[in-house]
Amino acid sequence: MGPPMEELLAGEIQTFEHERQLFNASGHQLLDLDDFKQINDRYGHKTGDDTLKLVARTIKKRLRPSDQVARIGGDEFAALLPHLGCRQAEQVATELADAIAQAVVNGPDGKLSARASIGVASVDETSEDAQHVLAEADRAMYATKKAKLAAG
């Protein structure tokens, strides 16, 4: 999939400092699968694993070769999108969420798909540090989840 999370975060801090020094925008995304626990509980861990593998392949296929992606926890992924501003990273997030929703896993009861909430933050000359950028992406991801729940 990608480098271990420790390497990704170390690289992110270097990228952060480099991008900030050059005043070059860099997009950061945090992605969380919606209701993934229900997939595991209802269909079993094999189907859950198959879903994670499909999501990872979908992410890798949709991002550029220069982008970095890593699974950071159960159903969470982080992506670094160098040289993309926040608006462009948000467009990529929308397209990525759509691609994940269209990807299909063969489960024991038929086909199923996952949904993802993606939060975006950017590094620019006003960014404080890498942890702040990750926290902003995390807040944006949970705002996306909350908006989905409110919409029904």
Single out the catalytic residue among 32, 34, 67, 75.
Answer: 75
Whole-angstrom Cα distance, residue 139 to residue 121? 9
DSSP 26-92: EEEEEEEEETHHHHHHHH-HHHHHHHHHHHHHHHHHHS-TT-EEEEEETTEEEEEEET--HHHHHHH
Burial class of residue 63, CB neighbours in 10 A (0-12, 13-18, 19+): middle
Alpha-carbon gap, residue 139 to 105, rounded angstroms = 29
**Annotation marks residue 75 as catalytic:** yes
Catalytic machinery residues: 75
